[in-house]
Every structure is written in structure tokens, then in C-alpha cells.
Structure 1
Amino acid sequence: MGDGILDKINRPLKDLRLSVTDRCNFRCRYCMPEEIFGHDYPFLTSDKILSFEETERLTRIFVNLGVRKVRITGGEPLLRKNLPQLIHSLNSIEKVEDISITTNGSLLKKFAPLLFEAGLRRVTVSLDSLNDERFYQMNGNKSKVSKVLDGIQAASEVGLKVKVNMVVQKGKNDQDIIPMASYFKKNKHTLRFIEYMDVGNSNGWSMTEVVTKQEILERIGEIMPLELIEPNYVGEVATRYRYIDSDQEIGIISSVTDAFCSTCSRARVSAEGKLYTCLFASEGYDLRHLLRSEKSDEEITNKISDIWNRRIDRYSDERSNGNSPKNRDKVEMSHIGG
């Protein structure tokens, strides 16, 4: 197989996001609200989740199709037992240029040394406020801010490069934009603001709760002037800005008001082995069945290639243009890791 495949609108397959569990120890309102993902929610049983061996095999197939960057997600990926073992295995795959993980940070202090030892070099931590009361409200009363900050500190101390993601919701935590920007500018970690998205069906999304990219820029710029800087690579999801008086930067992920579908090179595989070609997809393709039915690598490769070759997803563009289907069922973000 050649080094790369293209979809219907000439987007390559370069990034793979692997969910290793659908479980999380937080209940963030915009992702896993408690009233839906409560004690009786039927999370996947262990036999339904891809084994590390299956995950590694699948990753090698994706790499042969052009993937160069792998991100481990969840749920909360650090809940997956022996995760550093998987990181070590994936890190040994030739042509994988970058492995990272997205986490809520609550278990990061414990696992940071093991993750670094396994070969991980980058981690993205979700943190939506520095105020304990608001943070509690947003994460379902599961964690104090200090626990996440301790995780960030531990990760930084062992040598992991840390980025911080903040989902901004109007009326929930938009008053924390400036405090978060100031804190992480001082502590020299890149902060990325994320427009509140209509991922899944359970978060009660409304456009009225979206704080736009432009609003975020204006609020920060009034106090700490910014300048636009070039993306690190084609298809980078965050628009980058540098503080004029510093070499520190922020990013803004604006899939609601400034969609970036045209350069999306990401495939997502859920914990039970379903391939999703868009964060807002309604249906996935069952790769677990192929892995467990004695199909050859070549047969699985051909199937994935065929799926990607037929890919036409551009949900955020369609939403912006008013063309997205109303009341469309979408896979939950907790299932495919954002």
C-alpha cells in the first residue's frame, strides 16, 4: 500500500485518535452529564473493548495507510489498566512520528513518570476553570482544580510537554477566560480555548451558549495583546496566537464559527473498534469484527482504504451554512474522545 490515501475531497489520512475506554471519572456537563451517564449506564464490558494487541495491529494498518500522529483518548484513558504498556508498543511502530494523550488530569500525577518512561512526550489536559465552585459544577462534582494542576505540574516535571484545553460556555465559565489565560501564560503552558460544540445528543447544546473565537480574542486582546502566528502544520485544528510581549501562545479551536473541515485528516476509533470518519458522525464502521474474524491485514487495509476513499464528511461546514440535518443522532464525544 502506498504512503497515503485521500478521501472524496482530497483530504489525506494522517491522524488517528484511539479511544481506549468509554468510562470516565468525571461527569462534565458538555460531555457525560450525570443524569444520562449515571450508575446504571451500560458501559462497555471488557470483552467488547479492543485488546492492546488488537489496538496495536490496527494502528500498524493505519500507519501503512498514511497515519503519522496517534492520540490516545477515552472516556478518561488513564482509567485503562496498564496504559503505559500500550504507549510503549505504539511508540515502537516505525513511521509513527508523534504519540500524545488527552486526559482530565486527575490521575496524571500518579501516571506521568510511567507514561514518559513508556515513550510519551506530549499530553493535553482538559481544565475549564481555576475556580473550584465552577469547576465542580462543570465536572459533576468529581474533582478540585488542585488535583488537575498537580497532574500538570507532575507531567511537566518529568519532561512531558503540556497543553491545556478549556471548553468555554457562556454563562458557565466564560468569566474564567482571562484568569486562565493569565495563569497559563505565567506558567508557560499553551492554553487552547474550545468553542462549545454540539457533539453527541446529551449535552443540550445551544448556539446561545457558544462564546465565539472572535469574542475570546477580543476579551484577551484588551488586556494582553495578541498576534496571529502560522500553524505548525496543514490541518492543525487550533488557530495560533502569540502574546506580543512574550513567546507564549494560545490556540482557539473554533469548529462552530470558523470550521476547518476542509483540512481535516483525522480518523477516530472507539474503544469497541468502530471507525468514525467525523467527530459528529452518526454511524461507525465495525473494525473489531474484522480483527476477530481472521481477516488478513490486507483485507482490513482494503476495507479502511475504501471507507476513507468514500469519505465526504464536513458537518461543521454544513452547520455553518445551515445545511446540517436537524435532530441528527451523533456519536457521543465520551465514546470517541473528541
Structure 2
Amino acid sequence: MRTPVLEDRYGRIATDLRVSLTDRCNLRCSYCMPAEGLDWLPGEEVLTDDEVVRLVGIAVERLGVREVRFTGGEPLVRRGLVDIVARTAALRPRPEISLTTNALGLARTASALAAAGLDRVNASLDTIQADTFETITRRDRLDDVLEGLQAAREAGLGPVKINAVLLRGVNDTHAAELLRWSIREGFHLRFIEQMPLDAQHDWSRAEMITADEILATLEREFTLTPAAEPRGSAPAELFEVDGGPATVGIIASVTRPFCGDCDRVRLTADGQVRNCLFAREESDLRGALRGGASDEDLAERWVAAMLGKRAGHGIDDATFLQPTRPMSAIGG
């Protein structure tokens, strides 16, 4: 009997699971949510720690998932995070476990997370200039982020990857500075095109800084050559910086979509399967789980949820509609 996998109608198989642990965040980044924040999910709608671990276990042990990334919102505000990581690390076969975070709480938690089994960290950081950081995030917390990144590196949660979004007229002149700093600190920097996932629905393609613009800006100060290592299903296109070994990545989700090689599936904090970051439909696992469904039934529902995955995100299509949920409620 064939072991079930999370395969869609186009032959793509999801082996990378992104799990949102909360829609709450302690920053208010301008390209993500309004200054006053959002209406958070009611506590009873959010999966419990046991429910998260059960669903992750089904994905890993029954459906071939090999990588699990915990996201948010901001996952470090989830009180049970360390225990969830430890229980995920105990699954067999053991998945690779990573965390996408704003790094605010990493100084306090990096060592415990590493001991629990976390393998590496991705951190969002758009500038190393304190005033610009405060403008973007609406919080004066850059020192806390830098302290957290250092703690992650010292705890062995590497390679520490930095995700940066450039905003026109805000930090678009900071790209070279951020790259030099990342190389000096031993972090792996990746620039991400701003995507239409903001809660305010203010995204504009005309205002978005494209991958071509990012490359042109960097090439004024660095020599960039395509990295030799194959990209595979990774979202970032890598370039060696000044002959290497340092690299910089460009994630051109909008202008150079990589949907054909996508191997990702998402589980929201309230137990919904999203087969694409830009999907407007979800498949409910929480209701079935709380209704007494067996692991086999939940696995079958998950497999069925993948069949609705589209060939691409369709941002360039005239009929494209931004997802109802913002990024903070989906998970990166």
C-alpha cells in the first residue's frame, strides 16, 4: 500500500510545513498591520499545545513532512513554544525544526530552544539604523533584536538567516549597509519583495521594490554572481558576494514566482490548512480534531486539502484578490 503524501494535482509534494502558533505580535510593522494592531483570535479558537503537536505528528509520521517551521504572528509570545519544539524533536523520523521570529525575545529563550531541539532561526530585520527600525516597526526595540540574534548565534541556532523587506523612501538606501553588517556578523541575508499580505490592503505593485531594483542597488557596491549550489525548492535565489563565500539571497515572490517548485503547506494557529500563502480557501482540521476524528481521518483530510492547490499564486492575474487573512494570521 502506498504511503500517503501531501501531493497536489500538479505533482508537487509538500514536505515543508509552516505552523503558525499565534496571530499575535509585539511589533507593528507598517507593511504588515496598522499601528493599533488587529483583533486577535479568541483563545478558544487557537490550537492547544497538544493539538499542535498531534497535527504536526500526523504530518511528519504519516504524510512525509521533513521540515517544520514555527511562525506567527510572533511565535516567541507563545508560552508553550519550548515544549512544542521538544515534542516535535521527539517525532520519528525527526524533522528539521526552524523558527521565524522578530528576535525580540530570543535573548531570553535561545538557549532553551536550542536545548529543546530547535535547529535554526530566521529573523525579520529590515534595517540596522535605530530610527528607521522604529519608523517601520513603531517600536524602539532594535537593541533587543540585535541582542537576540547574538544569543541565537551563540546557542548554535545557525545559520541565522535575516529576512529584509525594502520599502520605497524608508529603508531602500540601506541594502548595502545591511548586507555588510550581515556578512560581518556571519548571518545569511535575504531580501524579500513586499507581498500583498498586509492587513490594511495598501500593497501596491508600483510602490513595491522589485528584485531587479534590489540587485541593481547591491551591484553598485558589490560584485554578485549566481551561486553554484542548486536552488531546488528554496524560495531564495542566491548570489555570491565579491567571489564568496558569503552569499545574499533574493526572494522574488511577485516578479519571479517559484510556484512550480513549491514544497510548502501551512497550518494556521486556529487549525486551518492553507495549501498556498495566497490561497483564499482553507480546510478545517480543528473542527474534525475536536470532533473526535482519528489520526487516519485527519491525515486523509489533509491529503484532500492539497488537491485544491492552484498552479500559481496568480498575482499577475487581473482577477487576483488578496487573501482575507493578513500575513500575521497566516504564518510565513
TM score, norm. by length of structure 1: 0.93
Deviations 1:211-256 (A, max 9, x none): 1112211221221211111456521000011113431111111011
CA–CA separation in structure 2 for the residues paired with 1:227 and 1:238 = 14
**Residue equivalent to 1:168:** 166
**Residue equivalent to 2:48:** 51
**Residue equivalent to 1:123:** 121
Change (3 A) 1:303 1:230: farther
Give the superposed CA RMSD. Answer: 1.6
Change (3 A) 1:58 1:313: farther
1:330 to 317, 324, 332: 324
CA–CA separation in structure 1 for the residues paired with 2:50 and 2:234 = 30
Structure 2 unaligned blocks of 5 or more: none
**Residue equivalent to 1:157:** 154
CA–CA separation in structure 2 for the residues paired with 1:136 and 1:326 = 32
Alpha-carbon deviation of 1:163?
A: 0.6
Secondary structure, counterpart of 1:240 in structure 2: strand
CA–CA separation in structure 1 for the residues paired with 2:228 and 2:3 = 30
Secondary structure, counterpart of 1:334 in structure 2: helix
**Residue equivalent to 2:14:** 13
Alpha-carbon deviation of 1:200?
A: 4.5
Change (3 A) 1:188 1:14: same
Aligned partners of 2:197 and 2:323 also within 8 Å:
no
2:292 to 286, 291, 294: 294
**Residue equivalent to 1:23:** 24
Deviations 1:260-318 (A, max 9, x none): 11111111111111111111122321111011000111111111111113322511xx2
CA–CA separation in structure 2 for the residues paired with 1:125 and 1:215 = 23
Letter in 1 for 2:39: P
1:269 aligns with 2:295: no
CA–CA separation in structure 1 for the residues paired with 2:94 and 2:115 = 17
| Higher mean displacement: 276-285 or 76-85 | 276-285
Aligned partners of 1:67 and 1:96 also within 8 Å:
no
Letter in 2 for 1:60: G
The number of residues matched between the two structures is 329
CA–CA separation in structure 2 for the residues paired with 1:188 and 1:329 = 35
2:315 to 300, 319, 327: 319
Alpha-carbon deviation of 1:45?
A: 2.5
1:101 aligns with 2:99: yes
Alpha-carbon deviation of 1:326?
A: 4.6
Deviations 1:181-219 (A, max 9, x none): 111111111001001111145241011221111221122
1:73 aligns with 2:71: yes
Alpha-carbon deviation of 1:330?
A: 3.1
Aligned partners of 1:170 and 1:208 also within 8 Å:
no
Aligned partners of 2:260 and 2:312 also within 8 Å:
yes
Seq. identity, %: 36
Letter in 1 for 2:55: L
Secondary structure, counterpart of 1:151 in structure 2: helix
CA–CA separation in structure 1 for the residues paired with 2:78 and 2:205 = 34
Q: How does 1:238-253 map to 2 (within 5 A)?
A: 238-253=236-251
Deviations 1:102-148 (A, max 9, x none): 000111101101100101120011001111111111112x2332211
Aligned partners of 2:196 and 2:203 also within 8 Å:
yes
Change (3 A) 1:82 1:201: closer
Secondary structure, counterpart of 1:150 in structure 2: helix
2:208 to 191, 207, 210: 210
1:192 to 190, 196, 209: 190
CA–CA separation in structure 1 for the residues paired with 2:249 and 2:126 = 15
CA–CA separation in structure 2 for the residues paired with 1:267 and 1:230 = 27
**Residue equivalent to 2:252:** 254
Aligned partners of 2:85 and 2:118 also within 8 Å:
yes
Secondary structure, counterpart of 2:39 in structure 1: coil
CA–CA separation in structure 2 for the residues paired with 1:157 and 1:107 = 15
Alpha-carbon deviation of 1:10?
A: 1.0
Letter in 2 for 1:332: P
TM score, norm. by length of structure 2: 0.94
CA–CA separation in structure 2 for the residues paired with 1:131 and 1:208 = 26
Aligned partners of 1:100 and 1:120 also within 8 Å:
yes
Letter in 2 for 1:9: Y
CA–CA separation in structure 1 for the residues paired with 2:201 and 2:320 = 16
Letter in 1 for 2:330: I
CA–CA separation in structure 2 for the residues paired with 1:264 and 1:184 = 27
Aligned partners of 2:125 and 2:162 also within 8 Å:
yes
CA–CA separation in structure 1 for the residues paired with 2:22 and 2:297 = 26
